[in-house]
Amino acid sequence: MAEQPRNSGELSAEATDSRTLLERLQQSAEVLEQLSMTRAPGLPEAAHVALRREAEALRELRGDLGLLLTSWSLLTDTSQKLLNLPTDELETGVHGALEVLARHIDAQRGYVNLLSDDGEHLAESYEWCAQAVRPHGLADHRGRSVSAFRWTLSELRSGRVVAVTNTARLPPEASDEQRICAQLGVRAYVNVPLLLAGRLIGWMGFDAVDSPREWKLEERHLMRLTGHMLVNAVERRRREVMLLQEKEREQREQSLGILAAGLAHEINNPLAYTAGNLEYLRERLPGTCAQSDDECRQVLDEALEGTLRIQRIVADLKSLSAATAEPVEPVDLRAVAESTLRMAANQLRHRAQIIRDYPVDVPRVRGTTTKLGQVLLNLLLNAAHAIPEGRVSENRISVALRATGDEVSLSISDTGCGIAPEVMPRIFDPLFTTRRSGDGMGMGLAICRDIIAALGGRIDVRSEQGRGTVVDVHLPRAELLAPIEPRTLTPEPSVGRRVLVVDDEPRVLDLMRRLLRGHDLVTVANGREALEYLSKDKSFDVILCDLMMPELTGMDVYHAVQKTWPGLHERIVFISGGAFTPETKRFLQDVRNPVLAKPFEAQSLRDVVMATGASRRLG
């Protein structure tokens, strides 16, 4: 059971008891000394000598005990200042502890300096100074290198206390420290290492500015004990800050997921009719045509390629909100690498030479071609952005594949600027970027990590500033599967279906009319109109219904149809630009109705209409 902090009354009682004990020891020593001076008849001289020795021993015991009790009182005071404070008041506690200890050991300046994670930079600094003493002012130099304390840090990392009795006699290798001491008027100093699990996280120090002086053993011992308490307080604060940051990150990612899915839904609506209309125009072009028509076909193909790229960007947004349910299959990682390198060629050719390092036979991995291509493209573009344009002959981007055990590793290395040590812990944080505004959103690595983790793999990043970066993607091998013979599908005769289309986007309704020519089509602009129409005429083979609409959603339409006209709800096909609410996701998991994702291909739309209509007629 944890020890409870004691109140001031208990501490006062202990202090009173301590003073009483010291007074009794003093009295006992005086009594023994008086006895030794009294010449009692028959008492030998040796007895008088023994009494005097006992009196002297009691005085020494009283002195040692007094020093011990003073140290205990000091540590109690310091621990109260450091260990019982809220983490946001740690600075106040450190200043208080420094003042108490500095006054006790008669130092004119006390300070605590904490190091960055790499141990080479100043992360935090706290300082107390006696009146009229000039401060170090290191708090104004956070983030700066601590190379000027090279000799002192070398001693501290070895776990040794640095006790300098005269700064004029520092060793030659401490020339930087000697220069700083001369600037600040430091005549003697003592530094105690702050160690956490054997690693130096900072140091606590005290300066004498009046004259050179010795640092007593008990003073150094007190500093070490105070340092241990300080490390505990700093570590407690660090853990609490990490927990808070983790909670904030989870909340931020949840909010980003909702926002991303909402944006994807809004983009997919216009993207659906844009891509659909382009595909419709392409279909309407004759097979054999003049040169001008060939040019029109090329223009349409390029426009469709543009909509496909937008669709991939939307897929990136949606991947922040939830993992997509694409089927995982054996993927040829070498083919994915070549395809992605071709796609990124324009970004890479002006920055670096591309080095391919593939073995002859690379085992297939578990994944999807789209997702793994997305990961590789993000990593290649990151490598390209780390290298300035115009120095192709001096820089390289390497793509290597290796099979080890049950894994296949994909490595992308570059000779770019590298990643700063203080940035490394945040590279997978969504929306964190070191690029200029407009050059990136900071989502790429976060998306890559989530995709690879969902496939059972992992991503490791190694970087050296000024030398380059290596990203290793480890993926599980795919199980060897027997080849599946393709089924021969007999095309169903093109028989017109009676179709009701429900969508609040007018241009989507126009697109449906074009793509579903040959079918008996009825279009309505919202769920309420759909239910009113069905109340008069429900003889439809297929009901194409948008999932997210104002007032009545696709879910509302489904439940109303199921309740009013049982069986008709089975003919509903949902059209979705991205289900982004938990309720919608649960609904789609519960019902068996097909879902057509926007933007959809013309043939996919026709196939789902024919399939749903056929099942109804067979039923």
Residues 6+ apart with CB under 8 A from 308: 275
Average pLDDT over the chain, rounded to whole? 79
What's the N-to-C CA distance of the chain in angstroms?
71
Same CATH topology for 329-476 and 498-618? no
Q: Which residues pair with 542 in a beta bridge?
A: 499
Kindly report the CATH number that applies to the domain delimited by 329-476.
3.30.565.10
Can you spell out the DSSP letters for 25-36? HHHHHHHHHHHH
Among 302, 486, 440, which Cα is nearest to 294's?
Answer: 302
Token code pair at residue 235: 């570590």
Model pLDDT, residue 141: 78
Q: What type of residue is 346?
A: N
pLDDT of 480 > 50? The answer is no
User: Token digits for 25?
Assistant: 């020891």
Report the topology of domain 498-618.
Rossmann fold (3.40.50)
Going by the DSSP 8-state scheme, the letter that residue 424 receives in this structure is: G
pTM of this prediction exceeds 0.75: no
pLDDT digits (tens, 9 = 90+) for 500-522: 999 988 888 988 888 898 899 99
Q: Is-contact 386 471, C-beta < 8 A?
A: no
Residues 6 or more apart whose Cβ sits within 8 Å of residue 506: 525
∠ at Cα 486 (482, 490), nearest 5°?
A: 155
Q: Where is average pLDDT lowest: 181-190, 214-223, 266-275?
A: 266-275
The whole-number pLDDT of residue 288 equals 52
- Measure the CA–CA gap between 285 and 297, rounded to whole angstroms: 7
Instruction: Name which of 12, 255, 227, 270 is nearest 114 in CA terms.
Output: 227
CA gap 366, 30 in Å, rounded: 89
**What's the whole-number mean pLDDT along residues 23-51?**
69
Mean pLDDT of 88-95: 74
Give one DSSP letter per residue of 355-372, joined into a string: EEE--S----EEE-HHHH
Which residues in 65-100 are b (16+ Cβ under 10 Å) and which e?
Answer: ebeebebebbbebbbbbbeebeeeebeebbbbbbbb
Q: Is 429 helix (H, G, I), strand (E, B) or coil?
A: coil
Decide if 105 contacts 219 (C-beta within 8 A). Answer: yes
Contact between residue 101 and residue 224 where contact means Cβ atoms under 8 Å apart: no
246-277 pLDDT, tens digit each: 677 666 666 666 666 667 767 777 887 787 88
DSSP 3-state assignment of 403? strand
Residue ranges covered by each domain of the chain = 7-84, 329-476, 498-618
Q: Choose the weakest-confidence range: 28-37, 170-179, 555-564.
A: 28-37
For the chain, how are helix, strand and coil distributed in percent, rounded to 5? 55, 15, 30
- In the predicted structure, residue 245 carries a pLDDT above the cut 60: yes
Separation of alpha carbons 205 and 166, rounded Å: 15
Confidence of residue 11 (pLDDT cuts 50, 70, 90): very low
Distance CA 478, CA 443 (A): 28
Rounded CA-CA distance 586/547 in Å is 13
Residue 6 has pLDDT above 90, yes or no: no
- Decide if 371 contacts 326 (C-beta within 8 A): yes
175-184 and 150-157 helices cross at what angle (nearest 10)? Answer: 110
- Band of the pLDDT at 437, cuts 50, 70, 90? very low
pLDDT of 315 above 70: no
Distance separating alpha carbons of residues 596 and 577, to the nearest angstrom: 9
- The lowest-confidence range among 8-22, 198-212, 213-227 is 8-22
Residue whose pair of structure tokens reads 């390629």 in the numeric block: 305
What backbone phi and psi angles, to 5 degrees, belong to 304?
-65, -35
Cβ atoms of 89 and 102 closer than 8 Å: no
Opening angle at CA 76, ends 70 and 77, nearest 5 = 90
